[in-house]
Amino acid sequence: MDFFIVTGASKGIGFELSIQLRSKGNKVIGIARTVPADVEGFIATDLAQTAGLVELIDTLIDENREMATSFTLVNNAGMVDPIGLIGSVSADEMITAMAVNLTAPMILSNAFIAKLNDFTGPKRIVNISSGAGRNAYEGWGTYCTTKAGLDHFSRVVALEQENVEYPVRIVSIAPGIIDTGMQETIRASQKEAFPLLEQFIDYKEQGLLSSAEQTAEKLISFMENEDFQVVGPIADIRNF
């Protein structure tokens, strides 16, 4: 049985990934700050509190090692706040965003690779990135930086794993513009904090946003059909 760990699994892409992967007969553990009611296979964990993440990964792998034929970690959790020009945002919000968007995925990936060092089956890490990590946007200083960091971290891991006997394959993939709570947060911001506000409002009004359900379907198809080593560590779902 294929085993998946999905962060940010209580809503949006993460929730759809968890539900759809489970419907295909996979074992899925969703990690989120809040756990959906009446849904099994979720663990309540605040990724901004990074101290217990290594132990969490170790426990999940230990509990599922005997039955798992493959392991996949999907680092999906992310936050767009704080939105605002640098010089006007909250330092505390920057620290939280750095932890959720970058520090937690790095720690989880590090623990995942270490714990599965001698596992001979397929091992994969899917980092959900963003075009914001590849382009600069005013008002998204923290978000752009963390996603760029996630991309570059993925490049380093891919390079390191080239010389490992049982390598972990990794890809940092941008999912496109999706109609999720993050988009609601963006549209609720002020133009002085985010100069591209009207453009993102237009995306919604013109029906240009993909649904979380559609995006999850595309991501699952990507994971099922693409060779991560061939694709390389940086990808965009719209190219597949």
Coil, helix or strand for 173? strand
> Which residue, among 213, 104, 207, 92, has the nearest Cα to 149 in the 3D structure?
104
Contact 60, 114 (CB under 8 A): no
Contact 212, 12 (CB under 8 A): yes
Coil, helix or strand for 201? helix
Contact 168, 153 (CB under 8 A): no
143 is catalytic: yes
Which residues are known to be catalytic? 143
